[in-house]
Amino acid sequence: MEMNVSNTDEQVVARKKGGLNPAIVIPILFLVGIAIYLFILGNPSNFQQEAQDGGASVAFSSIPHEKLVPQGLGVIYMGGFLVPVLITFMIIVIVFSIERAFVLSKAAGNGNVDNFVVKVRSLLNSNKVDEALEECDRQQGSIGNVVKEGLTTYKALAHDTTLDKEQKMAGLNKAIEEATTLEMPMLERNMNILSTLGTVATLVALLGTVIGMIRSFQALGNAGGTPDAAALSIGISEALMNTALGIGTSAVAIILYNYFTSKIDGLTYKIDEISMSIQQSFAEFH
């Protein structure tokens, strides 16, 4: 019994170590977002200076935004101080989506999952438990891990003469549930980041839009009859750019979140399906 507890603890630790740590990765990605904003989007080559005093050379950092004419990526730079935040959101979505895709691909194991389920169920119907265990070793995925744990318990209970059939069925069901519980956190880890950004990115974009419109109306109010076209265009550009970045990030996050959720649900369904087969096989042959 102590050995089983130790093995379970080791499995829990292994699953906790899997995947990216958001507390470390997100701050790093935020610095990357700021660097992209300052050094790529804010590169002087992305702007033309509207005017220079006496033809003198003026440092790029000292030129007001309204004196700059953005080109290419410079248009995104003009979105203002919320742009690096939205860029960071997009990078986070991309990085954690790649991580989830890798984890779920690994969880699916080797070969076709449907074929694995059909083959194991066929072996269980013939009471070929050892052959089913060999299939689990070859599959090497989350489903294989759960099934292997269930079949290992299956064999142990089959030779146990101290328990009645009802107690054995309860023990088998508990072993499968515990194995499933160990696998699910690995599959669902960091999914909350995608779901959160699907909402937060839109709200941050809305904030940027409001700030941009406020600046536009301030430009109109301070014009004294003649609107400052440059200041007005800066405000509108900031509003629209934040809107575009936020909505784009939110859309990508929601799509990927739903995609990965469907993948997890598919694996969960397969686990439930084959777990039921294990219990039915045990009830029939023991």
Question: In the numeric block, which tokens belong to residue 190?
Answer: 């960091």
Using a CB cutoff of 8 Å and minimum separation of 24, what contacts does 8-17 make?
8/178, 8/182, 11/182, 12/182, 15/182, 15/183, 15/185, 15/186, 16/185
Tokens 């609107």 map to which residue?
Answer: 227
Q: Which of 122 and 229 is assigned the larger pLDDT?
A: 122
> Rg of the Cα trace of the chain?
29
Domain boundaries, the chain: 81-285
* DSSP three-state, residue 69: strand
Least confident interval from 50-64, 101-115, 208-222, 249-263? 50-64
Averaged pLDDT of the chain: 82
- What was the pLDDT predicted at 29? 96
Mean pLDDT of 27-41: 95
Contact 110, 145 (CB under 8 A): no
Tokens 């102590």 map to which residue?
Answer: 2
- What was the pLDDT predicted at 273? 87
Global confidence as pTM: 0.82
CA atoms within 13 A on the CB side of 60: 12
Examine the pLDDT at 63 and tell me if it is beyond 60.
no
